[in-house]
Amino acid sequence: MHLVFSMKDLGNLSYFLGISVHISDTHYFLSQHKYAQEIIHKAGMDDCKPCPSPISVKPGLSPTSDLPFANPSLYRTLVGSLQYLTITRPDLSLAVNQACQHMHAPTNGDFAAIKRLLRFVQGTLSHGLTYTPSTFDLHVFSDSNWAGDTLDRKSTSGYCVFLGANLISWSAKKQATVSRSSTEAEYRALAHAAAEVSWLRMLLADLFVFSPTIPVIWCDNLSALALASNPVFHSRSKHIEVDCHFVREQVLAKRLSLHYVPTIDQLADIFTKPLAVSRFQYLKDKLMVSSPMCLQGPVKATSIAAAS
């Protein structure tokens, strides 16, 4: 690249576009500590009290919750900043996704949810992602929350992709249409995860990184897994034929394989619904969102089987 561009070697990466990189002999640690502090300062919450989770399982409603928020531009600014924060904070993905759905007309209740999210960020400023030496096996956890949105009853899809023991991709996204069954919702989430795997395989191939095994998608819905292997379309599944054909084509071509995982071990659960604090903390730790304080000493690269 020096032959083509005028460049200067600045040494090892330490800080880039708000992301700090801590390098040791055993791992890379990525965090956005400074950027997160700036968001909290922008909201005027420098001295706020931390809370243990970004979303309340049973949010409290006040008499003014449905009233329009007085400063919608502040709401949009904070949500846009939080979107960038999810680059190293997958545990915030669902809360930020829900906040994005109200940017056109935020209410006092919506801003109260943002304040809770910022209180959680205040207590986890030093958290980020850890990357350790590992294999090149691709493992994906796919899940959905059927009819979870109480306003329009649309489902939320979620997935997380591991390259060996390292989390490299994740998503929390509300589905575009209403699913009439949990199987349909799970299968749509499965199709989204399969599309992500297909893209990642092409990207890794361009980088001359080839997985020694077939990518695995872990799903906790037996009906969705059965639909992926059943060549017969039933009348109740015709409306999702495109997703069915896509996933089956990938499976038949041995570009991916589907396996069942118990709901208790479904890591993508954190991207689909609000969780109790204990469950949230458990899954957050499995996603390797941790503080550098916990990274002293040798770090072992665990397998996905052990992680789940």
Say whether both 160 and 71 belong to one domain.
Answer: no
In the beta sheet, which residues pair with residue 15?
A: 20
Give the Cα separation of 88 and 216 in Å (integer). 24
Domain membership of residue 297 (yes or no) is no
Domain membership of residue 1 (yes or no) is no
Say whether both 104 and 166 belong to one domain.
Answer: no
Say whether both 268 and 181 belong to one domain.
Answer: yes
Question: In terms of pLDDT, which residue wins out, 300 or 156?
Answer: 156
**Closest Cα to residue 96, out of 109, 108, 80, 107?**
80
- Other beta carbons less than 10 A from residue 296's beta carbon: 9
Biggest CA-to-CA distance, the chain: 66
Specify whether the CB–CB gap between 247 and 140 falls below 8 A: no
Domain membership of residue 108 (yes or no) is yes
Burial of 142 (0-12, 13-18, 19+ CB in 10 A): buried
Question: In terms of pLDDT, which residue wins out, 290 or 166?
Answer: 166
In the beta sheet, which residues pair with residue 289?
A: 129
Give the Cα separation of 236 and 180 in Å (integer). 9
Domain membership of residue 304 (yes or no) is no
Q: Give me 282's structure tokens.
A: 């458990």
Domain membership of residue 176 (yes or no) is yes
Q: Give me 42's structure tokens.
A: 């922008």
The predicted-structure confidence for 231-267, as pLDDT tens digits, reads as follows 555 545 554 556 667 787 788 888 889 999 999 999 9
Say whether both 144 and 266 belong to one domain.
Answer: yes
Domain membership of residue 287 (yes or no) is no
Specify the number of domains making up the chain.
2
Angle at 124 between CA 81 and CA 74, to 5 degrees: 25
Beta carbons within 8 Å of 274's beta carbon, 6+ residues apart: 53, 55, 56, 57, 94
Give the Cα separation of 92 and 54 in Å (integer). 7
Q: In this model, does residue 62 exceed pLDDT 90?
A: no
Say whether both 148 and 243 belong to one domain.
Answer: yes
The predicted-structure confidence for 12-23, as pLDDT tens digits, reads as follows 888 888 899 998
Specify whether the CB–CB gap between 68 and 106 falls below 8 A: yes
Specify whether the CB–CB gap between 82 and 100 falls below 8 A: no
- The answer to which of 2-6, 41-45, 147-151, 222-226 has the lowest mean pLDDT is 147-151
- The answer to which of 54-58, 102-106, 112-116, 304-308 has the lowest mean pLDDT is 304-308
Say whether both 227 and 192 belong to one domain.
Answer: yes
Give the Cα separation of 142 and 189 in Å (integer). 6
**239: domain range?**
134-273
CATH of residue 238's domain is: 3.30.420.10
Say whether both 110 and 145 belong to one domain.
Answer: no
Say whether both 68 and 188 belong to one domain.
Answer: no
